[in-house]
Amino acid sequence: MPLLSNPEDVIGRRFDFIIAGGGTAGLVLANRLSENPDVSVIVLEAGNAHVDDPIILSPTGWVPQLFNSEYEWGLQSTPQPHSLDQRLFEFRSGKGLGGSSSINCLVYLKPHRADIDAFEKLGNPGWNWENYQKYSKKAESVHAPVPPVRQFRPTYNHDDVGHDGPLPVSFCPIASGVEYPLQKGLSELGIETISTGFGGETAGTYKALASLHPVKMTRTDSANAYLFPVIDRPNLQVLTGALVTKVVTSGDEATGLTADAVEFEHGGKFYQVLCAKDVILSAGAIKSPQILELSGIGDRSILEPLGIETKLDLPTIGTNTQDHFTCTGPAYELRDGNDIITGELIADPDFRGNLKDPYKEIEGPLPLVMSGYAFFPLHKAAANAQELIDKISAKINDEASPYSAGLREVYHVQLELLKDEDVPDVEIMVVPFSVIPMGPAGRAYVNVPPVLSRPFSRGTVHINSADPLAPPVIDPHIFEEDIDMEIITAGFKVSRAAAQFSPYKDIIAREVKPGPDVVTDDQIKEHIKSHVGTVWHMVGSCSMLPRDKGGVVDAKLKVYGTNNIRVVDLSILPILVSTHPQATVYAVAEQGDIIKADHM
Ligand SMILES: Cc1cc2nc3c(=O)[nH]c(=O)nc-3n(C[C@H](O)[C@H](O)[C@H](O)COP(=O)(O)OP(=O)(O)OC[C@H]3O[C@@H](n4cnc5c(N)ncnc54)[C@H](O)[C@@H]3O)c2cc1C
């Protein structure tokens, strides 16, 4: 049973490292920093501990978690003008030990090598694919697949993944049965099944890994992989229910701000712990910038109207946010008699009762870890790819465009990724269950939507109150840049085109979303606007970039203008990676061992 701290154990005490946020990245750091018994570490986590919580451990528990404030922050965006009816969007984010790794959909994928090499090109020495793989392998323990299920086989190279890290990762032994036919359909379009997806070459189709224990079939997260096994270290304290409200600093812009303490709220009262070495913010892409701004570090024009004294004017905080946008559809009703298993079918006890091993144990409405993915470049998806690239290039190079000089430089690197015919710009995923009703009950449905890999639109997240309990204002600027809509539309059309080919077309009874009446590009775009959503992968709000390019932290993850405040979580990514990011968060946090080196 883990040994969690009480406030009285820690209040007023001095710690070498104070970690704000015990989520995915925060608990990796807690483990690695406390490996040295001479160093003291405290984790302050706003949510609860959730030790051995069956909802978290269940691979299907994430849906009830999304609607439960015990596990999730329940944040919303501002109205989005480029969506139908100026919609507000739910911005999901995990709360409690493990953070978002405890509520996510378990998908475990690595980015394209060029996604990561772009970080180094942007002025961050050491942030390249070779180091990514070194640290990713240090984190993961990938287990060999059980005998392949149906024809949908894991295709991967043993040496591309780690085998003895703390985080067990495996291939889910069950699948819906739609994945292989989709692979065959995409192969007719030149998008082939590959074995290099975990080795930095991701354009193609392949089965995703999952943060799933290979034997227990339970979720693995940063809490059960990194924290609970070491929680009895005497130099490590973990306080839950502790909302970090600000970093208390001394000094000024000239000398650099020094974090002396961290203030937190616990049980309605405010306390402090003192800092001997570093304060590390790992509160996620939405909350890490909030803590900085509450501490007087941010854009003076945002802080001063709220009555917050500006200790350090750093207007880049909370800017440059990017997210993965998706939509509903194309989605299909499936024919009977094809051995397809979807969430709707499993809800039927008779259907479940007839399942054979390894399927018979599965239950609940959304039992399947999503494992069927395709990633491809715009060049494969759109006949007018070059024209679209020329258009966005011209806009970026036009001095009259409303971009800062720094963002323009970041865009130039992002443009190189878009031009590269081997680097994915859009993704298709198999969702074998329905989040919204698709048609008559009792039928099987599958949603095969596109996901925009690397948006050009840039959003913001800022405080609009000095009250630390008030939610920050999230404005993702969805589809503000036309190119984003063009790319996701191209992805949508590829997904639909794959359904013309056997064996994929043979399992489909009819398209239910958007349906056969939606044909032209304009109609598809209207459909996407009215069915757009995010898959909750926000990055960029504390970007690791040179300060004059819009940076918040340097390549050692230290906030500019401070002597000892770092950010280590997904918010530091300057450009969104073209895949689901949890593996990247683990790799980033493992690379956080540069913090150790700084204090040797
Ligand atoms: C619903 C959902 C599904 C997802 N599915 C996938 C998937 O299948 N595959 C994938 O690759 N990625 C997925 N992701 C994304 C991925 O899980 C996250 O991007 C990643 O886990 C973020 O890690 P982090 O360390 O940046 O932040 P988090 O893991 O979110 O950690 C932040 C922590 O800080 C705490 N905190 C916040 N504010 C404070 C404060 N003021 N004081 C103290 N503590 C605070 C939070 O409670 C939380 O524990 C999903 C995300 C969500 C939300």
Q: What does the pLDDT look like over 469-508, one tens digit per residue?
A: 999 999 999 999 999 999 999 999 999 999 999 999 999 9
Ligand 1 mean position, distance from CA 359 (Å): 30
Burial class (CB in 10 A: 0-12, 13-18, 19+), 596: middle
Q: Is ligand 1 within 6 A of the CB of residue 107? A: yes
Determine the pLDDT at residue 365.
43
**pTM exceeding the 0.85 threshold for the entire prediction:** yes
For residue 576, CA distances in Å to 105, 140, 196, 354, 425 come to 19, 21, 20, 43, 11
Query: Residue 440: CA atoms inside 13 Å, Cβ hemisphere, count?
Result: 4
Per-residue pLDDT of the chain (600 residues; tens, 9 = 90+): 567 999 999 999 999 999 999 999 999 999 999 999 999 999 999 999 999 999 999 887 887 888 899 999 999 999 999 988 888 999 999 999 999 999 999 999 999 999 999 999 999 999 999 999 999 999 999 998 776 556 788 999 999 999 999 999 999 888 888 999 999 999 999 999 999 999 999 999 999 999 999 888 899 999 999 999 999 999 999 999 999 999 999 999 899 999 999 999 999 999 999 999 999 999 999 999 999 999 999 999 999 999 999 999 999 999 999 999 999 999 999 998 877 888 777 667 676 666 665 555 555 444 568 999 999 999 999 999 999 999 999 999 999 999 999 999 999 999 999 999 999 999 999 998 877 788 888 888 999 999 999 999 999 999 999 999 999 999 999 999 999 999 999 999 999 999 999 999 999 999 999 999 999 999 999 999 999 999 999 999 999 999 999 999 999 999 999 999 999 999 999 999 999 999 999 999 999 889 999 997
Q: Is 244 in the pocket of ligand 1 (CB under 6 A)?
A: yes
The whole-number pLDDT of residue 600 equals 79
SS3 content of the chain, % helix, strand, coil (to 5): 30, 20, 50
124: CA distance to ligand 1 center in Å? Answer: 24
Closest-CA residue to 318 (of 218, 460, 429, 194): 460
Q: What is the pLDDT of residue 449?
A: 98
Looking from the CA of residue 93, the nearest atom of ligand 1 is 53
Tell me which of 24, 467, 474, 553 to substitute to probe ligand 1's pocket, judged by most ligand atoms within 8 Å of the beta carbon. 24
Measured in Å, residue 69 CA sits from the centre of ligand 1 at 14
- Indicate the Cα dihedral angle 487, 489, 492, 494, nearest 10°: -70
- Considering the candidates 50, 527, 580, 599, report the single residue annotated as catalytic: 580
- Residue pair 343/434 in contact (Cβ under 8 Å)? The answer is yes
- In this prediction, residue 366 carries a pLDDT of 44
Output the residue whose Cα is nearest ligand 1's atom 4: 104
Does residue 295 have its Cβ closer than 6 Å to ligand 1?
A: no
* Whole-angstrom distance, CA of residue 425 vs CA of residue 578: 7
What are the structure tokens assigned to 478, written together? 């969805």
Q: Is the CB of 23 under 6 A from ligand 1?
A: yes
Interstrand relation of 236-240 and 41-45 (parallel, antiparallel or unpaired) = parallel
| Tokens (6 digits) for 235 | 């130099």
Q: Is the dihedral of CA 151, 155, 161, 164 positive or negative?
A: positive
| CB-ligand 1 contact for 542 (6 Å cutoff) | no
**Residue with the nearest Cα to atom 31 of ligand 1?**
23
Ligand 1 proximity of 59 Cβ (cutoff 6 Å): no
**Residue 261, number of CB atoms within 10 A of its CB:** 20
Q: Does the C-beta of 284 come closer than 6 Å to ligand 1? A: yes
Question: So what's the pLDDT on residue 25?
Answer: 98
- Least Cα distance to 396 among 475, 456, 460 occurs for 456
Assess whether the C-beta atom of 105 lies below 6 angstroms from ligand 1: yes
If you take atom 13 of ligand 1, which residue's CA is the nearest one?
104
Q: Name the amino acid, one letter, at 231.
A: I
Any catalytic annotation for residue 580?
yes
Q: Of these residues, 112, 213, 527, 537, which one is catalytic?
A: 537
599 in active site:
no
* Burial letters 482-508, b for 16+ CB under 10 A, else e: bbbbbbbbbbbbbbbebbebeebeebb
How many whole angstroms separate alpha carbon 445 and alpha carbon 510? Answer: 10
Cα(20) to centroid(ligand 1), Å: 13
